[in-house]
């Protein structure tokens, strides 16, 4: 592997990206790997599949990569993972990306569905942040990038737990940004906490909604996507996960030391309406 450019201040730093075996999480992990970082991979995958992702990230430029397991619905499991990652390499960058969703009306929703969505999409981020942030502050550099959603800024029907979790994640991130605002310095890069709020993005998470719309309209996949976009996203274009990955990488740059508490929509103008 070629030596990283001298200007690459992220080389050798350790990033934990939850939900990074596919979709947006994997795209973020690939972007961070391109900066010669050490990547802690996590996701709903077999160990063999997770290790295969880790190997692919090494080919993408990661200094090291390793798969870690945790059930994000379980705080004790999260704590074990955080200790294991920290023993491997002190966490400099934390990306809370893992998320689950199920569309249903309030009347139809079951308690277990609510608990699972809130647990994975919101509570897990609280647990990883409360463990990782003190160490970042002590070292004078840290980045937390929480992948929220356009639904952290606006609501949609049939998504009550998801919308509640993403609104909560933005609130949690803003509190953390304020509490750690004075950690570190301009020279060290400081500690920042930000949210990325994607709109319609080509991931596995939206496949059920596409299938539901296609069935309802009696159309193919492309027509179903066009119908969904026409309701919300003015550009009429989906985002690619790699675009979210590139934004996350920029937020992790030490030069972004004064970007904190921000919620950046990547939504084709959805929230501008």
Tokens 């809130």 -> residue: 118
For the chain, what is the largest distance between any 2 Cα atoms, rounded to a whole number of angstroms? 58
pLDDT score recorded for residue 1: 43
Among 162, 180, 200, 270, the one annotated catalytic = 162
pLDDT score recorded for residue 207: 87
| Residue 180 falls in the annotated catalytic set | no
pLDDT score recorded for residue 3: 44
Low-confidence ranges of the chain (pLDDT < 50): 1-6
Helix residue spans in the chain (DSSP H): 23-33, 47-59, 75-88, 111-118, 124-139, 160-179, 207-217, 221-232, 241-252
Q: Phi and psi for 93 in degrees, rounded to 5?
A: -130, 130
pLDDT score recorded for residue 7: 53
Q: How far apart are CA 266 and CA 238, in angstroms?
A: 10
CA-to-CA separations, 257 to 93, 129, 245, in angstroms, rounded: 13, 18, 18
């Amino acid at each position: 592997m070629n030596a990283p450019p001298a200007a690459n201040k992220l080389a050798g730093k350790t990033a934990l990206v939850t939900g990074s075996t596919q979709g947006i999480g994997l795209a973020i992990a690939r972007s961070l790997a391109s900066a010669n970082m050490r990547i802690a991979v996590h996701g709903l995958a077999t160990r063999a599949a997770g290790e295969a992702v880790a190997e692919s990230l090494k080919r993408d430029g990661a200094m090291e990569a390793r798969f870690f397991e945790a059930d994000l619905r379980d705080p004790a499991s999260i704590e074990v993972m955080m200790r294991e990652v920290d023993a491997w390499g002190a966490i400099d960058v934390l990306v809370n990306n893992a998320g689950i969703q199920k569309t249903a009306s309030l009347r139809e929703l079951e308690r277990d569905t609510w608990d699972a969505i809130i647990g994975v999409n919101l509570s897990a981020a609280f647990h990883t942040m409360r463990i990782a942030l003190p160490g970042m502050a002590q070292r004078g550099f840290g980045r937390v990038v929480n992948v929220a959603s356009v639904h952290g800024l606006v609501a949609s029907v049939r998504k009550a737990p998801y919308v509640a979790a993403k609104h909560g994640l933005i609130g949690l991130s803003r509190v953390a940004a304020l509490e750690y605002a004075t950690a570190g310095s301009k020279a060290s890069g400081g500690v920042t906490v930000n949210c990325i709020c994607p709109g319609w993005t080509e991931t596995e998470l939206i496949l059920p909604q596409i299938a539901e719309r296609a069935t309802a309209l009696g159309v193919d996949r492309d027509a179903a996507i066009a119908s969904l976009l026409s309701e919300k996203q003015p550009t009429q274009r989906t985002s690619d996960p790699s675009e979210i990955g590139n934004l996350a990488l920029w937020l992790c740059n030490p030069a972004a030391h004064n970007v904190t508490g921000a919620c950046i929509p990547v939504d084709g103008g959805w929230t501008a309406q």
